[in-house]
Structure 1
Amino acid sequence: MHILGYFFALIIGLVMGLIGGGGSILSVPVFAYLFNIDAITATAFSLFVVGATSSVGSVSFIRQGYVNFTTAFRFGIPSVLGILFSRRLVLPHLPEYIIHRWGITLTKDMFILILFAVLMLLSAIKMIQRKERVRKPRESETNYTLLVSQGLLVGIVTGFIGAGGGFLIVPALVMLLGVSMKEAVATSLFIISINSFIGFASSLDKIPVDWAFLLSFTSLSIIGILIGVALSKRIEPRKLKPIFGWFVLVMGIWIIVTELLLK
């Protein structure tokens, strides 16, 4: 199972490099089911992996001038507040049993993994649909209240379940700010890298960290994203998204069935 887990570390980076995101959605299930790590630690480890791989992926975009730092700042600050809210105020105070009556048992770990599976399903549907995002004209007035609230929502989601939130950030930047798809993906990776590292750092006093394991896993993901970026120049990412979407959809359903019916 551990060998399979390290193989998926490579796949996580590969997918992120090929389609600009999505691979991080696999990290929490890999940590939880293949390495038998508890859900809260798994979400923290996922944040570290996502942060490292996103940082590597955003370097080339920064060099090319695609990262909009002003937008990253406006979106990123409320995101950071959302992450700190989740990691410092919500997760540590969740009871061990969310529901434990009427013959129904829902533990904290089960609750987090089920929420993560729901996010997987939403992400998968967006990948499968192939809908083009409607870009807002730059000259129209930007709804900064909506932008800040979206940033806060992304931060809460990122902090709670350890996913980067790219499938929420990219459409927000395209539809609310009118930036190009390339700029949105580049800025999203930059925001994700900062958010993820802050989320992981905020958990260091709450979880045990096996640095040798975490760094080896992350190294494989970084190798994967470098391969993915190279392959993306030859492969059309739009064609790969629906295929990966179906895979994520099946995994999300499997997690829900496993947590609710097989435990």
Structure 2
Amino acid sequence: MVSIVLGALSIGLTLGLLGSGGSILTVPVLSYLVGQEQKLAIAGSLAIVGIISFFTMIPHIIKGKVAWDRVLYFGLPGMAGTYLGAWISKFVPGAIQFIIFALVMLYAAYKMLTTNQELNTTKRGYLHMIADGLLVGILTGFVGVGGGFLIVPALVLLGGLPIQTAIATSLVIIFMKSASGFFKYQQLLAESNIPIDWNVIAIISAVGIIGSFSGIKLGQLVNQTYLQRIFAVFLIVMAVYIGYQSVIELTGV
């Protein structure tokens, strides 16, 4: 239980600090610490990250930091994409989803290590944001990641937003997409007679919310680029482990 609580705290901290990364931690916590089957872990991740994002975004909304036009052009297509990605997942074994999830983690680490979020903030057209929102949404639904590590750079590089505004806006979009994806996964799990463990979702969400508010406070005190690089290294280690375990399961070696 201690490891689960620590995992939940880390989920909230990363969401509060970076506006992303929560679901990349949630899926491994549910799968390897709680022991859930892959598809159930992905569904639970969407529920937990959606709940934490909802509470974490409230202070940003109150302070007027959310760019609502970007929510409209990026978030709504993202909801549609997430629903579609969740539907596609019914045709794919959980082990393959986890292999793709590991590849996504590696890509996220690469972006965090190489993207300078203070540069190249030229605003581009809304069609780019709509297309990006749809594609990131499909990824969210398929492997259970909220996509904050893609949303934040996209809002900065394509939307021309300051980093703090991008983080606040990302949390709103993550909530919207997570709700859409979880709704579809609930249907898929019901068809397979797999019950959702609401107790686990409630516990991790509650601890994660505490961690997220702590992350918001810490984010005002520490260098975000430095944090991203540390988190990126952690993602690489986790990706290698998850990919290795999934390949073993898939091949039976």
- Fold shared, TM-score > 0.5 on shorter chain: yes
- Displacement of 1:68 in angstroms is 1.2
Is residue 2:226 matched to residue 1:226? Answer: no
Query: 2:117, 2:156 within 8 Å by CA — same for their partners in 1?
Result: no
Amino acid at match of 2:198: W
Is residue 2:187 matched to residue 1:205? Answer: yes
Distance 1:133 1:237, change over 3 A: closer
Q: Which runs of 5+ in 1 are unaligned?
A: 95-107
- Displacement of 1:159 in angstroms is 0.6
- CA RMSD, aligned part only? 1.7
Higher helix share: 2
Alignment map for 1:127-146 (pairs within 5 Å): 127-129=112-114, 131-132=116-117, 134-138=119-123, 142-146=124-128
Per-residue CA deviation, residues 117-148 of structure 1 (Å, 9 max, x unaligned), is 0111111122223533534445xxx3333221
Amino acid at match of 1:34: L
Which residue in 2 is equivalent to 1:248? 235
Q: Which runs of 5+ in 2 are unaligned?
A: 190-194
Distance 1:19 1:147, change over 3 A: closer
1:91 pairs with one of 72, 89, 93: 89
Aligned length: 245
Query: 1:130, 1:242 within 8 Å by CA — same for their partners in 2?
Result: no
1:172 pairs with one of 146, 149, 154: 154
1:160 pairs with one of 119, 142, 145: 142
2:225 pairs with one of 235, 238, 251: 238
- Displacement of 1:85 in angstroms is 0.9
Give the 4+ runs in structure 1 shifted more than 3 A: 132-138
Query: 1:133, 1:175 within 8 Å by CA — same for their partners in 2?
Result: no
Identical residues among aligned pairs (%):
36
Which residue in 2 is equivalent to 1:114? 99
Which residue in 2 is equivalent to 1:22? 21
Aligned partners of 2:118, 2:221: CA distance in 1, in Å?
Answer: 23
Aligned partners of 1:42, 1:17: CA distance in 2, in Å?
Answer: 22
Aligned partners of 1:74, 1:18: CA distance in 2, in Å?
Answer: 24
Query: 2:12, 2:210 within 8 Å by CA — same for their partners in 1?
Result: yes
- Displacement of 1:109 in angstroms is 1.5
Which residue in 2 is equivalent to 1:35? 34
Query: 1:79, 1:153 within 8 Å by CA — same for their partners in 2?
Result: yes
- Displacement of 1:211 in angstroms is 1.3
